[in-house]
Amino acid sequence: MDNIDLKGRDFLKLLDYTPQEINYLLDLSAALKAMKKAGQSTAWFTGRNVALIFEKTSTRTRCAFEVAAHDLGMGSTYLDPTGSQIGRKESVADTARVLAGMYEGIEYRGFGQKIVEELAQYADVPVWNGLTNEFHPTQMLADMLTIRECFGSEKGAHVTFYGDCRYNTANSLMVAGAKTGMHITLCAHPEYFPGEELTAQCRAIAEESGGSITFQTDPMKAAVGADVIYTDVWVSMGEPDEVWAKRIEDLAPYRVTRQIMDTAGEKAVFMHCLPAFHDKNTGIGREICGKFGLTEMEVTDEVFESSRSVVFREAENRMHTIKAVMAATLGIPDGAVR
Ligand code: CP
Ligand code: NVA
């Protein structure tokens, strides 16, 4: 493992991390995954505790933090979207100082990136971003680990993302690609491309890493040469129901279909951060079907359920990568991981 020390650092967005540090976190994730599979203990932080603030709901991120904390020997407290005073009765700055007095680390999932940045400013323990409107950095570590497992390396991988390219997952994918030398193509209706400032920043970083950022509006052209076809929900948590009609109209041509997978070629895999709307087996899926007659949204059920879909491996990797982020920023004992 590289000689990199992340003890005491926050994990708020990948822009704050060097390519070497990201590489270290991915190597560490793979090592922790192997240790878990071999039944080896990683309970290095017995007696410590972490606070998990979720102002938006979650399955993967919450479970990943809880299981990883447990595997590291720590206790965890889950604060649900209504279960704390944060933002309503108590400021972010006050909450940060209260929690930092009791916990060795704080995870935050919620709305604006500036909230998690403020939390980190006032908490003198590591703060980890479990998703904001702008970024989803722990998701990217899981995605890059999955790409490594599928193709040997994330560097040089061609990843095409379809759908809402302005939100957390696509923004973070663009940053991850720029940092690690991936070729990222964002494919959408032109209204859904990321902001100019972040794009320019990522393109400058990509020049150093050998990666690239490309925008495309033609779904078939975007698929050519892709190793990974990636999508996310068309309407994200916290957005109002009123946006559905326009979103469906604008993004329906960007649904991931078998034709897109076939155009990408035989070796291409399908990825999705999840949860996904690929059938009518969810409350929202049924509601949208009732209103708009759609039985699948950002991805067809056929692609989602196909052998090329690696979404559940990707979901499992959330836990190993989140464990790496917590362990590295809390300070792994010398010699504990080889
Ligand atoms: N991918 C992801 O963040 O899933 P959850 O919303 O279930 O945490
Ligand atoms: N863009 C999605 C990601 C969910 C993991 C959302 O914010 O709801």
Q: What is the mean pLDDT of residues 104-116?
A: 98
Closest ligand 1 atom to 237 CA: 6
| pLDDT number for residue 287 | 92
Handedness of CA 7, 136, 103, 97 (dihedral sign): positive
Instruction: Quickly list H helices, the chain.
Output: 19-37, 60-71, 92-100, 113-122, 137-151, 168-180, 196-209, 219-223, 244-251, 258-264, 283-292, 301-304, 311-330
How far apart are the C-alpha atoms of 8 and 22, rounded to whole Å? Answer: 16
| pLDDT number for residue 260 | 98
Provide the 10 A C-beta neighbour count for residue 75.
15
Q: What is the mean pLDDT of residues 206-228?
A: 98
Distance 87 CA to ligand 2 centre (A): 21
pLDDT band at 153 (very low <50, low <70, confident <90, very high): very high
Residues 19, 7, 29, 153, Cα dihedral to 10°: 10
Ligand nearest to the CA of 273: 1
Distance 233 CA to ligand 2 centre (A): 7
How far apart are the C-alpha atoms of 31 and 225, rounded to whole Å? Answer: 31
Of 217, 173, 219, nearest to 198 by C-alpha is 173
pLDDT band at 136 (very low <50, low <70, confident <90, very high): very high
How far apart are the C-alpha atoms of 290 and 186, rounded to whole Å? Answer: 30
SS3 readout for 196-228: HHHHHHHHHHHHHHCCEEEEECCHHHHHCCCCE
Would you list the domain boundaries of the chain?
Answer: 14-135+317-330, 158-226+228-266+269-307
158-226+228-266+269-307 shares the fold of 14-135+317-330: yes
**Ligand 2 neighbour 237 (Cβ under 6 A):** yes
Catalytic residues: 109, 136, 139, 232, 273, 318
Whether 66 shows a pLDDT value over 90: the answer reads yes
Whether 49 shows a pLDDT value over 80: the answer reads yes
pLDDT band at 85 (very low <50, low <70, confident <90, very high): confident
**Ligand 2 neighbour 161 (Cβ under 6 A):** no
Provide the 10 A C-beta neighbour count for residue 294.
16
Distance 55 CA to ligand 2 centre (A): 13
| pLDDT number for residue 2 | 61
Which of 3.50.50.60, 3.40.80.10, 3.40.50.1370, 3.20.20.70 would CATH assign to domain 14-135+317-330?
Answer: 3.40.50.1370
How far apart are the C-alpha atoms of 77 and 194, rounded to whole Å? Answer: 35
| pLDDT number for residue 1 | 62
**Ligand 2 neighbour 133 (Cβ under 6 A):** no
How far apart are the C-alpha atoms of 177 and 310, rounded to whole Å? Answer: 19
Q: What is the mean pLDDT of residues 74-101?
A: 93
Closest ligand 1 atom to 63 CA: 8
Distance 208 CA to ligand 1 centre (A): 31
Distance 335 CA to ligand 1 centre (A): 32
CA of residue 216 relative to chain centroid, distance = 22
| pLDDT number for residue 3 | 84
| pLDDT number for residue 114 | 98
Closest ligand 2 atom to 164 CA: 1
Query: 100-114, 138-152, 197-211, 281-295: which range is least confident on average?
Result: 281-295
The answer to whether the CB of 34 falls within 8 A of the CB of 1 is no
| pLDDT number for residue 87 | 82
Which of 3.40.920.10, 3.40.50.970, 3.40.50.1370, 3.40.50.2000 would CATH assign to domain 158-226+228-266+269-307?
Answer: 3.40.50.1370
Helices 60-71, 311-330: inter-axial angle, 10-degree rounding = 50
**Ligand 1 neighbour 272 (Cβ under 6 A):** no
pTM over 0.85: yes
| pLDDT number for residue 219 | 98
pLDDT band at 78 (very low <50, low <70, confident <90, very high): very high
Of 296, 175, 178, nearest to 234 by C-alpha is 296
Ligand 2 probe mutation, 139, 236, 243, 282, most atoms within 8 A of CB: 236
Whether 277 shows a pLDDT value over 80: the answer reads yes
